[in-house]
Amino acid sequence: MSDADVIRAAIEAIADDAHSPQHIRAALDARSRHHRQRRLLLRVAGATATAGVAGAGGFAAYRLARPDVTAFPEIAGGPGGGWLQAAPRWRPGWLPDGFGLTELGVVVDGSGAIVVGRTWRRPQREGEPRSPSVSVTTGWLEPYSAKSTEAGADGVDINGTPGRLTTYTPDGGASVVWQPAGEPRLEVGVSFNDVERARSVALRVARSLRRDPGTFTIGPRPGWLPEPLADQPWLYTLLAADGTWLQSVLIRTTSAEVSLNAGPAVESPLGTEDTEEFMIRQARARRSTRGTELFAEQLDDRNVFAYASVEGIDLTRIVEDFDLGPAPDMTWYGSR
């Protein structure tokens, strides 16, 4: 599999399983392992950083919840801040032992966050394909909804509200979906290899949810976009990948999609053949002659890789007009 194929597979996983962060992480873990061997996309270097776009004040409550002794490393981030506040509304009152906050996801429509998700997981153990995870998502949007294969479903009661408990194949994950009166839809997704364990954890987490007044800040946002991508909702994901932070933006329609990955350790999958070198906002850049892949080095103090699913999309202009925002504050990483 070529480097570009590996990246495309990870991008597709992010889109197809936007409400299933365990699937996102599995794809990125696989991509990360590949590129460690090939010294490409996500090489860990020196002082590391994670994946988060939290304002300096937005995660104060989560910093207080971080234990003094934790298996999650301190991650070097930036000042944080941005242009939009996202409100998760709910947080688990119970999580399995050892789980900490590792990933954030938001679907943005215009000037508002219409879907907000967070994922907690246990640090990955040696020899473990992926670590178990628990996600809580508020809201729903079809283009970025999960498309896992269902193995079975049952009606359940979540604190007086009817819900649906679903198990999936082949990974043994489970989810609970319900909608409290006057509230957006809620989903708790759990990834465990043991199906019964996944069902039990999903129900316990769902029934433990309590109000969360905290918010976090979204830094990046697209500028110019071509039709039919302009004015479309877009998915923003921040996650940890091998000790470094990674930002991902995906804009999807039925006919095309564009993704942009940014972070201090993102490297170019493009060689010198069938590519051309140029400058973009005073940063060195390289793009494929087909125009569907573009890499920029040290653009706003991070590397950027952009991908378009079809030819004819002006990736250069998209990246040139893209506001990456400040480097994310990472002090929330590993909190409960």
| Entry pTM | 0.79
C-alpha–C-alpha distance, residues 315 and 308, integer Å? 7
**Cβ pair 226, 167 in contact under 8 A:** no
In tens, the pLDDT along 238-286 reads: 987 667 788 999 999 989 999 999 999 898 989 888 999 999 999 999 9
In tens, the pLDDT along 32-57 reads: 433 333 333 332 222 222 222 222 22
List Cβ<8 Å contacts ≥24 apart for 64-68.
65/335, 65/336, 66/100, 66/331, 66/332, 66/334, 66/335, 66/336, 67/336
C-alpha–C-alpha distance, residues 152 and 257, integer Å? 31
DSSP for 35-99? HHHHT-TB---SS------B-TTTTHHHHHHS-SS-SSPP--------SEEE--EEE-S---TT-
Q: How confident is the model at residue 122 (pLDDT cuts 50, 70, 90)?
A: confident
C-alpha–C-alpha distance, residues 118 and 96, integer Å? 15
Mean pLDDT over all residues of the chain? Answer: 80
C-alpha–C-alpha distance, residues 106 and 87, integer Å? 10
Backbone angles phi, psi at 28, to 5 degrees: -70, -35
Q: How confident is the model at residue 9 (pLDDT cuts 50, 70, 90)?
A: low
In tens, the pLDDT along 172-209 reads: 699 999 999 999 999 999 998 888 999 999 999 999 99
Is the sign of the CA dihedral 279, 281, 283, 289 positive or negative?
negative
Over range 13-31, report the average pLDDT.
Answer: 43
Residue pointed to by tokens 């119970």: 94
* Token pair for 189: 């997704």
In tens, the pLDDT along 52-83 reads: 222 222 222 223 344 444 578 777 788 889 99
